[in-house]
């Protein structure tokens, strides 16, 4: 069995807005969390693009990445992810070229193809509903902007060209797993909201073709973790994430809600089953239970890295959860060392 000490831990944050709090509070909490996990030796801190969702403040993802990077020193900061079809590839290349220039060697570019929004918001973003089908072409165009400039190249990303901005493909199905394997890119699977699709991790490894980027496959699994000092405390805290997914199922996204003693007063049987399915990969418990289940997850998925998602109403409980997780493992590779020997610059 793979030891936890051999697997880097990272963080996915959506800058959640808790009930009776503001986006400004969410940004302060995001910075506090990033600084906290940096001290604890976590590897990456990624932020996700979402739009028009009550309770999520990470819509201007590149801006927030720069803010977090500016308040940390060694932590890799990036997108988990930026939704490529929402943007012109040149704009993303310029944004992340700027970030890499400001914070060299610390920026990751994780890319997804989902809208990160509803249909009306897609139209507000001027996104064609079919643009997700163009993801491979958009990716190729984006990667071209990061390569060294060709003498005949008419359009350039300045800054951006010739910079090493590691590109990851993100996915909740096998589409991005297949594409990442074909291109020899690292792959991150969204197990935190799509536990039924974990076969994509295995498919990625089976289909992987070595490239100038990676000589062997490198995969990361996203997982919701609610860790507390006891199983009982963790179960109580986990009702915040249960209420979050319940509001999603009902089509009425709420800000993060305080934990409650009894969820049976809030959902019906169908809703309970639906929430439990969405949180099928969720790990909730005290230190020993969390350690056991993380080890089993890593063994089952062969993940090279674990990206932890957590929904807590109170920041202090969230910070404590990441402390407990850090205590379960010895020091693991951090910062730029995580892919050492396995990857080279995307534009090299």
Nearest-angstrom CA–CA distance, 105 and 99: 10
Asked if residue 346 is part of any domain, the answer here is: no
Asked if residue 227 is part of any domain, the answer here is: yes
Torsion of the alpha carbons at 151, 154, 155 and 161, rounded to the nearest 10: 0
User: What total of structural domains would you count in the chain?
Assistant: 1
Asked if residue 345 is part of any domain, the answer here is: no
Question: Which pLDDT score, from 0 to 100, does residue 280 have?
Answer: 87
SS3 assignment, position 305: strand
SS3 assignment, position 170: strand
Query: What pTM does this model have?
Result: 0.89
Cα–chain-centroid distance for residue 118?
20
**CATH number of the structural domain spanning residue 234:** 3.20.20.30
Question: What digits encode the pLDDT tens for the residues 150-190?
Answer: 777 889 889 989 999 999 999 988 899 999 999 999 999 98
Question: What digits encode the pLDDT tens for the residues 130-161?
Answer: 666 789 999 999 999 999 877 778 898 899 89
Q: What angle do CA 104, 181, 113 make, to 5 degrees?
A: 70
Asked if residue 344 is part of any domain, the answer here is: no
Q: Which domain does 290 fall in, by range?
A: 4-339
Helices (H), the chain: 23-40, 61-70, 89-102, 119-124, 135-146, 174-183, 199-207, 231-237, 239-249, 269-278, 287-301, 315-327
Question: What digits encode the pLDDT tens for the residues 9-32?
Answer: 999 999 999 999 999 999 999 999
């Amino acid at each position: 069995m793979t030891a936890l000490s051999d697997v880097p831990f990272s963080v996915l944050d959506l800058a959640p807005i808790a009930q009776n709090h503001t986006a400004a509070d969410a940004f302060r909490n995001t910075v506090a969390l990033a600084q906290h996990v940096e001290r604890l030796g976590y590897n990456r801190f990624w932020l996700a693009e979402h739009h028009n969702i009550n309770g999520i403040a990470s819509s201007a993802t590149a801006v927030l990445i720069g803010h977090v990077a500016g308040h940390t020193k060694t932590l890799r900061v990036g997108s988990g992810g930026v939704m490529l079809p929402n943007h012109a590839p040149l704009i993303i290349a310029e944004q992340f070229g700027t970030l890499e220039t400001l914070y060299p060697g610390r920026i990751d570019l994780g890319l997804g193809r989902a809208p990160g929004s509803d249909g009306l918001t897609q139209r507000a973003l001027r996104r064609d509903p079919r643009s997700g089908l163009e993801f491979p072409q958009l990716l190729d165009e984006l990667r071209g902007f990061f390569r060294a400039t060709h003498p005949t190249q008419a359009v350039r990303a300045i800054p951006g060209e010739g910079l090493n901005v590691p590109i990851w493909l993100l996915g909740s199905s096998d589409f991005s797993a297949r594409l990442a394997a074909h291109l020899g890119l690292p792959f991150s699977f969204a197990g935190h909201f799509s536990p039924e699709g974990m076969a994509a991790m295995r498919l990625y490894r089976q289909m992987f073709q070595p490239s100038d980027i990676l000589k062997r496959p490198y995969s990361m699994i996203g997982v919701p973790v609610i860790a507390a000092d006891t199983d009982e405390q963790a179960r109580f805290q986990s009702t915040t994430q249960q209420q979050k997914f319940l509001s999603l199922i009902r089509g009425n996204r709420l800000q993060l809600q305080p934990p409650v003693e009894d969820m049976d007063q809030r959902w019906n049987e169908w809703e309970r089953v639906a929430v439990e399915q969405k949180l099928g990969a969720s790990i909730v418990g005290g230190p020993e239970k969390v350690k056991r289940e993380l080890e089993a997850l890593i063994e089952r998925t062969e993940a090279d890295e674990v990206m932890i998602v957590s929904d807590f109403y109170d920041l202090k409980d969230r910070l404590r959860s990441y402390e407990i997780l850090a205590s379960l493992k010895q020091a693991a590779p951090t910062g730029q060392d995580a892919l050492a020997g396995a990857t080279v610059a995307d534009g090299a």
